């Protein structure tokens, strides 16, 4: 698969977005109801120009409703929404500046890859080059292949190319690497990172938490329509605390480590091998090192293990989902 090459035209609008003062997306007290069920409840967040923003949540959390409101496909029942300075519920002109990649694409089964790219580019005032996009998404060898013959991952890559057809300032990506093999996923991640580097704003929804942790500048986690966490992946995992692991010679009673500042739990996994829990594992690591010097106990393999974004996600959402 070729290396990522972004057509220069893709960044035409993106470079101007870097000077934009207002956020690319503003959501204030958003409400969406379906009958008596409130799918989105007073949801607020903003997305800055040029950042990758991941909107995460379990099934039924309100992600799809929120994104469809932002895209202008669904009406809201309360609150305010602005996309590139416009109300998506009252204007359609902003769509010339936006690219949308749905989770599952549906095209004419007999249309070829190049025909699809050419068709979608024709919808825009400032289109990208279909041939350049073909190379960017790594489907040059499949230019004449019909849509129905593509694999799931190839269809996803074509869908990403279609989302780039109008040189968007802002892109909505719904499960962008679903059905992709590891190699295609890596290329897609590189492409998303390259788009961000060129100033394109990306709102990403995914159930692949490693993807969000790797790509996103900031993450919003929603559950039952409400915002439960907002911040960078590093901030969210740091708030969740972590573990300090180490080995001592000779072994000591694990309970002794509960006297260390910041240690909330201590476990001896096997003689001489310990695991301590702490809301601030970096500080606890220092305390273990100081304890080692003060007691003359040899400590080796001292390391910190932080919670992953997936673990943070489960901590914040599993309790309510299980009710």
Instruction: Break the chain into its structural domains and give their ranges.
Output: 8-232, 241-306
Q: Is pLDDT at 14 greater than 70 in this prediction?
A: no
Q: Cα separation of 288 and 304, whole Å?
A: 11
Residue 104 has a pLDDT of 82
Residue 108 neighbours by CB distance under 10 Å: 12
Average pLDDT over residues 78-96: 94
Residue 320 has a pLDDT of 45
Q: Is pLDDT at 51 greater than 80 in this prediction?
A: yes
Across all residues in the chain, what is the average pLDDT? 91
Please report, for residues 149, 164, 194, 215, the alpha-carbon distance to residue 155 in angstroms, rounded to integers and kept in the order given: 9, 14, 21, 21
Average pLDDT over residues 44-69: 96
Residue 4 has a pLDDT of 41
Homologous superfamily of domain range 8-232: P-loop containing nucleotide triphosphate hydrolases (3.40.50.300)
The dihedrals phi and psi of 137, each to the nearest 5 degrees, come to -90, 5
Higher pLDDT, 12 or 321: 12
Measured over the CA atoms of residue 92, residue 94, residue 99 and residue 103, the dihedral's sign is negative
| Residue 260: closest CA among 303, 293, 282, 290 | 290
Residue 318 has a pLDDT of 61
Confidence label for 103 from pLDDT (cuts 50, 70 and 90): confident
Q: Is the peptide bond before 250 cis (omega within 30 degrees of 0)?
A: yes
Please report, for residues 29, 119, 123, 177, 206, the alpha-carbon distance to residue 59 in angstroms, rounded to integers and kept in the order given: 21, 33, 33, 18, 11
Whether 241-306 and 8-232 are alike in CATH topology: the answer is no
Average pLDDT over residues 164-184: 94
Residue 56, judged by CB atoms within 10 A of its CB (0-12, 13-18, 19+), counts as buried
Average pLDDT over residues 127-149: 96
Average pLDDT over residues 65-90: 96
Q: Cα separation of 305 and 178, whole Å?
A: 28
Average pLDDT over residues 260-271: 94
Q: Is pLDDT at 207 greater than 70 in this prediction?
A: yes
Q: Is pLDDT at 22 greater than 70 in this prediction?
A: yes
Average pLDDT over residues 24-48: 97
Q: 320 is written with which tokens? A: 């309510």
Confidence label for 3 from pLDDT (cuts 50, 70 and 90): very low
Q: Cα separation of 221 and 231, whole Å?
A: 9
* 241-306: CATH topology: Alpha-Beta Plaits (3.30.70)
Q: Is pLDDT at 19 greater than 80 in this prediction?
A: no
Residue 21 has a pLDDT of 67
Q: Is pLDDT at 232 greater than 90 in this prediction?
A: yes
Residue 7 has a pLDDT of 46
Average pLDDT over residues 153-158: 93
Cβ pair 2, 194 in contact under 8 A: no
Residue 239 has a pLDDT of 87
Lowest mean pLDDT among 23-27, 112-116, 268-272: 268-272
């Amino acid at each position: 698969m070729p290396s990522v090459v972004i057509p220069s035209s893709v960044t035409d609008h993106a470079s101007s977005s870097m000077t934009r003062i207002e956020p690319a997306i503003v959501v204030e007290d958003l409400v969406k109801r379906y009958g008596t069920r409130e799918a989105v409840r007073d949801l607020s967040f903003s997305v800055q120009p040029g950042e990758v923003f991941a909107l995460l949540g379990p099934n039924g959390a309100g992600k799809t409703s929120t994104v469809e409101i932002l895209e202008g496909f669904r009406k809201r029942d309360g609150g305010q929404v602005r996309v590139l300075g416009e109300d998506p519920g009252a204007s359609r002109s902003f769509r010339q500046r936006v690219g949308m990649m749905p989770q599952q694409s549906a095209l004419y089964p007999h249309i070829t890859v190049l025909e699809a790219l050419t068709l979608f580019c024709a919808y825009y005032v400032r289109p990208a080059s279909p041939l350049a996009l073909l190379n960017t998404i790594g489907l040059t060898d499949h230019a004449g292949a019909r849509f129905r013959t593509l694999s799931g991952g190839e269809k996803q890559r074509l869908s990403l190319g279609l989302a780039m057809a109008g040189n968007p300032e802002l892109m909505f990506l719904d499960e962008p690497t679903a059905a992709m093999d590891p190699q295609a996923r890596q290329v897609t991640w590189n492409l998303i990172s390259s788009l961000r580097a060129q100033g394109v704003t990306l709102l990403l929804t995914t159930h692949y938490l490693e993807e969000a942790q790797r790509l996103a500048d900031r993450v919003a986690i929603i559950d039952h329509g409400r915002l439960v966490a907002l911040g960078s992946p590093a901030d969210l995992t740091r708030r969740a605390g972590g573990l300090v692991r180490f080995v001592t010679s000779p072994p000591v009673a694990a309970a002794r480590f509960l006297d260390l500042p910041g240690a909330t739990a201590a476990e001896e996994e096997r003689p001489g091998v310990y695991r301590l829990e702490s809301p601030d594992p970096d500080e606890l690591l220092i305390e273990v090192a100081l304890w080692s010097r003060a007691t003359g106990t040899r400590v080796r393999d001292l390391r910190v293990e932080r919670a992953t974004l997936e673990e943070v996600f489960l901590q914040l959402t599993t309790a309510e989902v299980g009710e």
